A and B are shown apart, each in its own frame.
Chain A
Amino acid sequence: MNDIAIWTEKLVKVYSQVKAVDELSLHVPRGSVYGFLGRNGAGKTSTIKILLGLARPTAGQATVLGFRVGHDQVAILERTAYVSENKALYGNLTAKELVRFTRGFYPNWSDDAATRYARSFEIPMDRPFVKLSQGTRTKVYLLLALAQGADLLVLDEPTTGLDPVAVDEFLRILGQDVVGEGRTVLISSHQLSDVEQVADHIGLIDHGRLLLEARLDDIKSQFRLVTAAGNALAQSRSTEVVSVTSDGNFCKYVVRQNAEAFAAELRQQGATVTDVSPLGLREIFLEMVRKEEVCTSGNAAGIPAAVSSSF
């Protein structure tokens, strides 16, 4: 368990008869940057809230940095920095006052780092929070989280409202000051290109259930788009096939593994396989969570399996 920063087992959260989190078992390795992905309402924020003690699980258990969620909450919070989805802070306080307010809670707080990040993000430190733009509010939130010197950073939509330059700067800081020091990051974001840039592990959930959890490199090396031409190919229902899209005589298959074997199978059926190409994180995400369409088979939601696992 020492090499696991976040561990959950069959975590369930029900809000007035709606299952926000459904038997979720996550494993976030220490020192990793874990991209926690899913559609709106998939259960990401609910899971994060449970981990930080803001919500109580209906069932299941979890540990963060080896401390039990719900029992050792102060110990967890001392070591965890959190950037929330709503980025709400005290409107009448300036960024400087917010820094002064926050630093007292954290023994590892670094004033030097706070000054550096304020300069990097170009934050007007003497202006009240309420008078800042959405992007600058996000920057203040990031500054408060990054300067804590926390062992674990939980970032829920950390780039909301940031311009591309600020996003780039944030990702640079994340890579250099956080990942470089061996700290763990759980990043939940819809900006898949940002996640792809920094994450080394991916957890994908939908309707509160884990669809996929693996190293990003493994996912990218195993998911393939197989394009084939032939008749009645869309009926193929191999368990390796995540989705099938038909366009005239052409069919495009997203295959989770053993793409070459699947292509050989298609050839045996008389099809002409025109291309077997790798997929980006965005394409994999879309294929995994997209609702079933007319010519889609083998919905991945029914197969909560890992492509590969390092645990």
Chain B
Amino acid sequence: MTAVFKREFRAYFTGPIGYIFCAAFFSAISFSFYLDNVSAYRSDFSTIFNIMMLWLILLVPLMTMRLWSEEKRQKTDQLLLTAPVGTMEIVLGKFFSALCVFLCALSLTFIYPIIVSLFGTPEVKSIIGNYVAITFAASAYIAISLFISSLTESQIVSAILSIISLSLFLAMNVIFESTNIEFLAKALGFLSMITRYFNFFQGLFSLSDVFYFISLTVIFLFLTSRVIEKRRWS
């Protein structure tokens, strides 16, 4: 696992993708920091995490789209799949490399709470809780788009499908909310990431919602390893 992790993580920063991801994420967050905090004279960060959830829908697929398709194109999947390692180890290596790139980008934004604390009193506990929660949410994003990238050989298809499915996962509660089908509205609301993230916005650290994101991650990593394993049988 560590071999794959090291290689992928290094590849993010020998190529442009790692830098682009960090820069895009940081500038988007900086802009909303300016709007919500600097010009509005506020020390509340919940909107920023809200905006992170949205931006990650676009940025995470860009980061994960090459993880499997590139292996297929360079025929290096033959090396990985004939090496004496389990498929899950390879999947985990790739997953953690993407997660670490995200953490690099996220750590850049630590500067804003620090700036605010110089001039005001931000709610430290709520901010830490939100940072932890956004990490779990992002890991669910990464697992979902990693799964989608394993389904297709084309990077573009993978990126677009990932963006669509992440959007669905984020806001599927909306689909039936205005109808009378209460059962479906409730079920989808239960599964939607945005309703799951709601507690964190409000400054509550809810363990059950953290478990929700962890379960999503585990399920999609498992599915990814199944898809890769299934290729042997086609």
- Asked whether A and B interact, the reply is no
